[in-house]
């Protein structure tokens, strides 16, 4: 497995910190790597982050939902346009937190993602605040782009899943079942629109009882505009609302929890090709929580994948 860490260059790391401290746009190019950094002052407000015992899970959730470029909610067309057309091979997330409303001097490595030439995410790694991996998974896909195997670990937990898919109702509905789970009742049911975009996902537990359901909504450009999650009683548990610019870049995402209460706001910036340069996370009062900047490696670049398995 080829793995290249752009942050082993101490000079590059210092350059990142310096650029962020003066809040200026920066494009750094080194041996085929493009480092896109963008920071902004227009929405920064002074705030105090109260760190209490018992919110570690919430902090982890924020990292997992804000430090990566890949968005599973996107339509098939959106994923193809972003990851396949742009020939993204690897993406690294580097996050800067804002304790007491002030950006910390040193950022932290928070994510790593790898993609195949079809735009499928084949590997993801998340790191804790000390830079140690706390979640790592690899994925395998079938010819239709369905995830058929997931292998990795989260903490002390070993993750190994293998799924089988069955087409129902002429392909408008897909049933997914785990090959290794003993329960025959546990399953995922997906329904699709005429453009092969997922419009709903329902999960049934080992007792055959529906545990949750997601609904997806799209505009005329096949861009996901809203995602709703329902609990087992049919109540809206949480939802995500997406906003796009004229180029189709997802520039804002708002996360609402139960009772339609705003929980998080994400603001994203992109380069001319549609690669995400940075992602700001704000709390419900628009106080900045963190900033993640991204480093990319692309196929066919100076440091692109050259093994036989990565070529068509």
pLDDT of 254 > 50? The answer is: yes
Query: Is residue 266 in some structural domain?
Result: yes
Higher pLDDT, 225 or 48: 225
Q: Is the pTM of this model over 0.75?
A: no
Query: Is residue 301 in some structural domain?
Result: yes
Over residues 19-42, the pLDDT tens digits come to 343 333 333 333 333 333 333 333
Query: Is residue 1 in some structural domain?
Result: no
Q: Which domain holds residue 23?
A: 6-310
Per cent of the chain over pLDDT 70 is: 74
Over residues 57-112, the pLDDT tens digits come to 333 333 344 456 788 888 878 887 788 888 999 999 999 999 988 999 889 999 99
Query: Is residue 43 in some structural domain?
Result: yes
Query: Is residue 193 in some structural domain?
Result: yes
Q: What is the pLDDT of residue 67?
A: 58
The average pLDDT across 205-231 equals: 94
Place of tokens 């742009």: 86
Q: What is the pLDDT of residue 71?
A: 83
Query: Is residue 119 in some structural domain?
Result: yes
Query: Is residue 52 in some structural domain?
Result: yes
Q: How far apart are CA 115 and CA 84, in angstroms?
A: 9
| Contact status, residue 105 vs residue 139, Cβ threshold 8 Å | no
Higher pLDDT, 74 or 199: 199
Over residues 263-304, the pLDDT tens digits come to 999 999 999 889 999 999 999 999 999 999 999 999 987 544
Nearest by Cα to 113 from 149, 158, 64: 64
The tally of CA atoms less than 13 A away on the side-chain side of residue 130 is 3
Spell out where the chain has E strands. 26-30, 33-37, 88-97, 108-115, 121-127, 133-141, 147-154, 157-168, 173-178, 187-192, 198-204, 210-218, 224-230, 236-244, 250-257, 261-270, 276-283, 288-298
Q: What is the pLDDT of residue 68?
A: 67
| Contact status, residue 109 vs residue 131, Cβ threshold 8 Å | yes
| Contact status, residue 215 vs residue 227, Cβ threshold 8 Å | yes
The count of domains in the chain is 1
pLDDT of 208 > 80? The answer is: yes
pLDDT of 11 > 90? The answer is: no
Query: Is residue 63 in some structural domain?
Result: yes
The average pLDDT across 121-127 equals: 96
> Does the CA dihedral 279-212-152-175 come out positive or negative?
negative
Per cent of the chain over pLDDT 90 is: 55
Higher pLDDT, 234 or 58: 234
Higher pLDDT, 186 or 69: 186
pLDDT of 51 > 60? The answer is: no
């Amino acid at each position: 497995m080829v793995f290249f860490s752009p942050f082993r260059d101490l000079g590059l790391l210092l350059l990142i910190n310096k650029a962020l401290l003066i809040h200026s746009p920066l494009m750094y190019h080194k041996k085929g790597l493009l480092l896109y950094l963008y920071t902004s002052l227009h929405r920064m407000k002074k705030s105090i982050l109260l760190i209490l015992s018992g919110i570690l899970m919430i902090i982890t959730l924020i990292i997992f939902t804000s430090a990566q470029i890949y968005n599973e909610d996107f339509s098939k067309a959106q994923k193809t346009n972003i990851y396949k057309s742009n020939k993204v091979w690897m993406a690294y997330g580097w996050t800067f937190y804002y304790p007491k409303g002030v950006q910390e001097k040193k950022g932290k490595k928070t994510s790593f993602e790898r993609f195949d030439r079809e735009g499928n995410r084949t590997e993801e790694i998340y790191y804790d605040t000390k830079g140690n991996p706390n979640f790592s998974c690899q994925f395998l896909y079938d010819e239709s782009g369905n995830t058929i195997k997931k292998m990795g670990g989260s903490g002390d937990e070993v993750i190994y899943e293998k799924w089988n898919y069955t087409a129902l109702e002429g392909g408008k509905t897909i049933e997914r079942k785990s090959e290794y789970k003993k329960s025959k009742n546990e399953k995922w049911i997906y329904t699709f629109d005429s453009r092969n975009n997922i419009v709903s996902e329902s999960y049934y537990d080992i007792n055959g009882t529906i545990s949750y359901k997601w609904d997806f909504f799209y505009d005329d450009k096949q861009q996901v505009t809203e995602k709703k999650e329902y609990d087992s009683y049919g109540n809206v548990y949480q939802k995500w609302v997406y906003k796009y610019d004229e180029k189709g870049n997802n520039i804002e995402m708002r996360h609402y929890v139960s009772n339609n209460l705003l929980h998080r706001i994400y603001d994203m910036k992109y380069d001319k090709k549609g690669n995400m340069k940075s992602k700001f996370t704000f709390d419900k009062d628009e106080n900045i929580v963190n900033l993640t900047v991204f480093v990319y490696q692309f196929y066919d670049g100076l440091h692109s994948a050259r093994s036989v398995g990565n070529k068509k």
